[in-house]
Amino acid sequence: MRVAEITTRIVRVIEVPRSQLADFLKLPESQQVGVYFLMGDLSDAGLPRAYVGQSGNVGNRLVQHNQNKDFWNRALVVISLTNSLTQTHAMFLEWFAIAEATKAGRYSLENGNTGSQPYTPAPLQADCYEIHETAATLLATLGQPVFEPLTQTATMSNGKPQPAELFYCKGPDANGVGEYTSEGFVVLKGSTARVGNVASIQGSSQERFREQLVTDGVLQLQGTQYVFTRDYLFTSPSMAAIAVLGRSANGWMEWKTDKGQTLDGAKRQAVNATS
């Protein structure tokens, strides 16, 4: 187990490997009100799976999930050092965390619909926003950036904001726009993708991969096209191109700048030239 906290804050995050759940249950923190995140293997769409929950007794709830949820391998538990979280705090924090994690799009959430915002008095909401901010920092410190945005809308050059470098992937009924980042390739919300798959990938893992994007709500049918409902991180430019084009694709060659330069030329060859 690992513990993360900021000395000036009352929030603590405890990372509990599933294999050490029994050890966590011996801690007094396991009996507290808290919010928890179950982290698991990759979904068919290539994103790590996660589940957000809350409980008046997080230890008991994790025991239940240990019996009826198979996907997870570790839990991150958010509790108060002063044991001051109430059920009202926890319900709002759960709702807000699901909404923010969905917006970020880094994880495939097992929760489904976020539901409606629970009634929370304004002073408690203010507490919750501060707790959430601290928890988000601690989760990222523990290697789970659940709420961090996928893209940088602007970069700084000589103290002045500059537009992000965009790449485009076009085909029949497809017009993808994306950014190459340190974590992979992000296709931006509003990009369009081909609905049908070419014969060569039908019945393959690539077809199942695209079907999972539809199941997860990343791709939504609008007229004769799929539309990306949110920014989405792919592990590679090629997986992003496959999602857009509905066929096998080398993303390093398919994604191009507005001037027609390939992603390979703009990024990989530039590195080779520098070295």
Total length of the chain: 275
Tens digit of pLDDT for each residue in 215-231?
Answer: 888 999 999 999 999 88
Placement of tokens 């690992």 in the chain: 2
The one-digit pLDDT tens for each residue of the chain (275 residues) are: 999 999 999 999 999 999 999 999 999 999 999 999 999 988 777 778 999 999 999 999 999 999 999 999 999 999 999 999 999 999 999 999 999 998 888 888 998 766 789 999 999 999 999 999 999 999 999 999 999 988 765 444 455 555 678 999 999 999 999 999 888 899 999 999 999 999 999 999 999 999 999 988 899 999 999 999 988 989 899 999 999 999 999 999 999 999 999 999 999 886 666 65
d(CA 263, CA 247): 18
* Nearest Cα to Cα of residue 78 among 149, 121, 150, 141: 141
Contacts of 28 (CB under 8 A, 6+ apart): none
Tens digit of pLDDT for each residue in 90-116?
Answer: 999 999 999 999 888 888 899 876 678
- Mean pLDDT taken over the chain: 91
Q: What is the pTM of this model?
A: 0.74
In percent, how much of the chain has pLDDT > 70? Answer: 92
Tens digit of pLDDT for each residue in 126-139?
Answer: 999 999 999 999 99
What pLDDT, on a 0 to 100 scale, did the predictor assign at position 105?
82
44 and 66 Cβ atoms separated by less than 8 Å: no
d(CA 220, CA 229): 7
What pLDDT, on a 0 to 100 scale, did the predictor assign at position 230?
87
In percent, how much of the chain has pLDDT > 90? Answer: 76
Mode of pairing for the β-strands spanning 225-228 and 219-222 = antiparallel
**Token code pair at residue 52:** 């957000």
What pLDDT, on a 0 to 100 scale, did the predictor assign at position 162?
56
* Nearest Cα to Cα of residue 69 among 93, 46, 84, 53: 53
| Secondary structure of residue 37 in the 3-state scheme | strand
78 and 11 Cβ atoms separated by less than 8 Å: yes
| Secondary structure of residue 16 in the 3-state scheme | strand
Tens digit of pLDDT for each residue in 8-22?
Answer: 999 999 999 999 999
226 and 210 Cβ atoms separated by less than 8 Å: no
d(CA 79, CA 57): 10
Work out whether the CA dihedral 62, 40, 215, 145 comes out positive or negative: positive
